[in-house]
Structure 1
Amino acid sequence: MNPGDTRAFAAQRLVPVLNGKGSLSSLDAELASSAIKERDRGFVKALCFGVCRAHPRLDALASQLLRQPMKQRDTDIQALLLIGLYQILHMRVPPHAAVSETAGAARALGKPWATRVLNGCLRRFQRESVALQAKVDRDAPVALWHPNWLLLEFRDAWPDAWRAICEANNEAGPMTLRVNRRHASREAYLQRLETAGLDAAPCRFAEDGIQLETPCDVTQLPGFAEGDVSVQDESAQLCADLLTPALADKDRQRVLDACAAPGGKTAHLLERFEADLTALDVDPTRLQRVSSTLQRLGLEATLQAADASDPAADESWWDGQPFDAILLDAPCSGTGVIRRHPDIKLARRHSDVAELAALQARLLDALWPKLAPGGTLLYATCSVLPAENSAQIEAFLSRTPDAVADMPDDLDWGQAAGHGRQLLPTPAGHDGFFYARLRKRA
């Protein structure tokens, strides 16, 4: 497959994302089943993720280069223009190759007329790059690579940190591992990585976490297929630490992971504690990923497909016995993990935040009666927006008399946020995450 076809594949994959009707979540599977050679798949992913990450700025530059906007039926050509700009600005592709191969990819899309348009736009950008960039960067959302509504949300929520949040979002996150302590210690696995020639260091906050200096394919990780290690961000690993007081050194506890897919936190809890765990998720397809994860790690849980926010669905999955602990890793805006899912910049709308907050409230209200007196509910999101985090928990506590905030006050990570704890994304560290631990009065 020639380079032009590789870029054409990336452009086609970006079309639904640019139109606000898709994401990059299935890109790996689509590449695996495509004719793209394995050695070229990393390049395609870099193009797709890079265009989404820098989209506000690339789109502004494209608008300066086009005489008139592309019609929707030609979104694939718009994608090629963004791909060309991204290569010139952010990749090591020789400029002449970025121009010629990107323009030539229009033929692979069956639109040879666009070759001249793309060639002209990209060559003009090469000539006028400095002036064009200076012009579009007068607009803060363009210069900071974020849609305006999201920029305003960050400024309102974090007046002293909003720029740092944007800058962290615009960098690819590090590759962080979670060692399966049922198999070996973190120190022992660090030695295995060193022997394999992979530079790594222990995470600062997560007890089982290791951060690689350079990301790699999981097939290069010693013992990955055998379940010795998993990929999971440091923020997400703190879930098990917060549930330790409720689950450690006790008889086998009944635990519910209410929004379990894809299964990382489910697996971590089972690696750490002897528990009778039910993994619940509304999407049966995504629940299959939980099953695959547990199978690789040699762990067991009861998997149930049902809507945890709908009490009418209780009979389909709940036996009526209360849980000693509940993990609610709630659906959210994902604004703390934009660096790992940059298509969020295109997929999310301002109206989504209120809709997600309403869903989170329904989940809290539906799950609380299923918690045993004296039990613990851990609420988590990968968001940095107060409406989904501190304000959500404040509202829940105000309407739930037997709920008590139980967040430790001696944590060395994150910052206080109402009755919870907020981590903001850091360039060389953890993702953005929020936790609030609640206890039901005995």
Structure 2
Amino acid sequence: MSPPISVRALAADALADIALSGHSLRDVADKAFPRLPDSRDRALLTALLNEGARWWTRFDAAIDKLLDKPIRRNEPVVHALLVIGLVQLEVLELPAYAAVAATVEAVRELRRPRLAGLVNAVLRRWQRERETLNAALDATPATRHGHPAWLAAAIARDWPEQTESILAAANREPPLMLRVNRNRATREEVVGRLAGAGQTAELHPWLADGLVLPHSTDVTRLPGFDQGDFAVQDGAAQVPADLLGLANGQRVLDACAAPGGKACHALERANVHLVAVESEAKRIPRIRQNLERLGLRATVITGDAGDASGWWDGKPFDRIMIDAPCSATGVIRRRPDVRLHRREADIPALVAQQARILAACWDLLVPGGSLLYVTCSILRSENDGVVAAFMTGRSDIVATPLALPVGQPTACGWQVLPGDGDLDGMYYALLRKR
């Protein structure tokens, strides 16, 4: 068993892994939680890691202003601890005396006692000069909103009128949204059960299966979770089931299925024969777990959606959904570590993969059938760019006009930007085969 450790020391070690070594926040948090038996400590760790990842770009730059010589390379954990210290002071607004003292003590726990004085001096200097330092950090969009410079520039290029609102929305805590399994319960029944457990929930105004909870909570402890009455799913991810035009007896393909939320929603909507394809074998168990808990059945296959030769049985599909691998730039508010791990150089390869999957899946669609192309990206190159290039020179494709209560039309589809209707950012293009 690992020895006891304070939340701040554990958070610094974990944040260094996330920001400087490329590990996912979810994986790091899952590994760290067992070392903190107290639920309050786990809640503080969650806040420190989420806000540390969200504001890393800002406070990483701030630390460079506060140090004569950077320590990022030689002492990455202490550098991350300094970010944790600034998060406590500026974002969580913890009492300064307690935040500074606990952070300095964490240096000793991390076996860096010689750096305790440096950490104390940096945090004290921040307190003295915070107005000047914050003003300097607010002067550029990247550090003002905690986005890497390339992404802030890409958003400004693609969405010049909405840039500030997009960047700001990515830093607001999203609501917790549930999707009620209409095979098991009605929305009103679930709301009543939650109210009995002291949990407030409201019917989403236009998503037929959606509920909105004001704050995050451990959903596994809510009444009805084990029975499959509902699943966690942002409202933007609930839209595809509405757009697909599902009906009993259809043959449906979910081409990039993990973790299975959209596939499950389709099965809750109609009695369809659904084939869920996922290229990463390690993600298949999660699909099966979700299907089992919700009482649903599908054919789950490990395979490459961009090359059907290894898994397709030759029977065409009436409906196809491609939730394409993408930059995830529309879901940064829920996955703050995306902004640390995604690189501008990643985009061309993602676009090529999206185009390959779209072309391959189109050949599996029956004439008269519909294919829904979805990404959780807000970058035009991954969205209209991919769809328009695919449609060029083809006479067998008709782009179906879309209209949702939030978001805006694009040349080929519909874009919901982060914060529109308090949803995640997501793109949809519905293509019908002549």
> Smaller-chain TM-score range?
over 0.9
Matched, 1:283 2:276: no
Contact 1:206 1:235 (C-alpha < 8 Å) held by counterparts: no
Match of 1:403 in 2: 397
In structure 1, how many angstroms separate the alpha carbons of the residues matched to 2:109 and 2:78? 11
Contact 1:20 1:346 (C-alpha < 8 Å) held by counterparts: no
Match of 2:127 in 1: 126
**CA-CA distance at 1:166 after TM superposition:** 0.3
Match of 2:82 in 1: 81
Matched, 1:329 2:326: no
Contact 1:335 1:383 (C-alpha < 8 Å) held by counterparts: yes
Match of 1:308 in 2: 305
The amino acid across from 1:374 in the alignment is G
Match of 1:179 in 2: 180
Alignment of 1:140-219 (within 5 A): 140-219=141-220
Calculate the aligned-residue CA RMSD, in Å: 1.8
In structure 2, how many angstroms separate the alpha carbons of the residues matched to 1:28 and 1:218? 17
Call closer, same or farther: CA 1:32–1:4 in 2, change over 3 Å. closer
**CA-CA distance at 1:196 after TM superposition:** 2.4
Contact 1:419 1:436 (C-alpha < 8 Å) held by counterparts: yes
The share of aligned pairs that are identical, in percent, is 44
Matched, 1:227 2:207: no
In structure 2, how many angstroms separate the alpha carbons of the residues matched to 1:428 and 1:412? 8
Provide the secondary structure at the position in 2 that maps to 1:216: coil
In structure 1, how many angstroms separate the alpha carbons of the residues matched to 2:207 and 2:394? 31
Q: Which moved more, 1:332-341 or 1:124-133?
A: 124-133
Match of 2:349 in 1: 355
In structure 2, how many angstroms separate the alpha carbons of the residues matched to 1:37 and 1:165? 36
Contact 2:10 2:32 (C-alpha < 8 Å) held by counterparts: no
Call closer, same or farther: CA 1:165–1:93 in 2, change over 3 Å. same
**CA-CA distance at 1:266 after TM superposition:** 1.0
Matched, 1:114 2:115: yes
**CA-CA distance at 1:395 after TM superposition:** 0.9
In structure 1, how many angstroms separate the alpha carbons of the residues matched to 2:420 and 2:32? 28
Call closer, same or farther: CA 1:407–1:352 in 2, change over 3 Å. same
Contact 1:405 1:437 (C-alpha < 8 Å) held by counterparts: yes
Residue deviations 1:7-61 (CA, integer Å, cap 9, x gap): 1111111223222522213144213443553331111111011011112211121
Q: Which moved more, 1:413-422 or 1:79-88?
A: 413-422
Provide the secondary structure at the position in 2 that maps to 1:434: strand
Q: Which moved more, 1:18-27 or 1:227-236?
A: 18-27
Contact 1:4 1:102 (C-alpha < 8 Å) held by counterparts: no
Gaps of 5+ in 1: none
In structure 1, how many angstroms separate the alpha carbons of the residues matched to 2:36 and 2:214? 31
Q: Which moved more, 1:292-301 or 1:393-402?
A: 393-402
Provide the secondary structure at the position in 2 that maps to 1:26: helix
Matched, 1:422 2:422: no
In structure 2, how many angstroms separate the alpha carbons of the residues matched to 1:412 and 1:171? 21
Alignment of 1:263-274 (within 5 A): 263-274=260-271
Match of 1:432 in 2: 425
In structure 2, how many angstroms separate the alpha carbons of the residues matched to 1:397 and 1:325? 18
Match of 1:51 in 2: 52
Contact 2:36 2:42 (C-alpha < 8 Å) held by counterparts: no
Contact 2:179 2:211 (C-alpha < 8 Å) held by counterparts: yes
TM-score of the pair, normalised by structure 1: 0.94
Contact 1:407 1:438 (C-alpha < 8 Å) held by counterparts: no
The amino acid across from 2:341 in the alignment is A
The amino acid across from 2:283 in the alignment is R
Number of matched residues? Answer: 433
Gaps of 5+ in 2: none
**CA-CA distance at 1:219 after TM superposition:** 3.0
In structure 1, how many angstroms separate the alpha carbons of the residues matched to 2:223 and 2:125? 48
Which 4+ stretches in 1 moved above 3 angstroms?
1-4, 31-39
**CA-CA distance at 1:234 after TM superposition:** 0.4
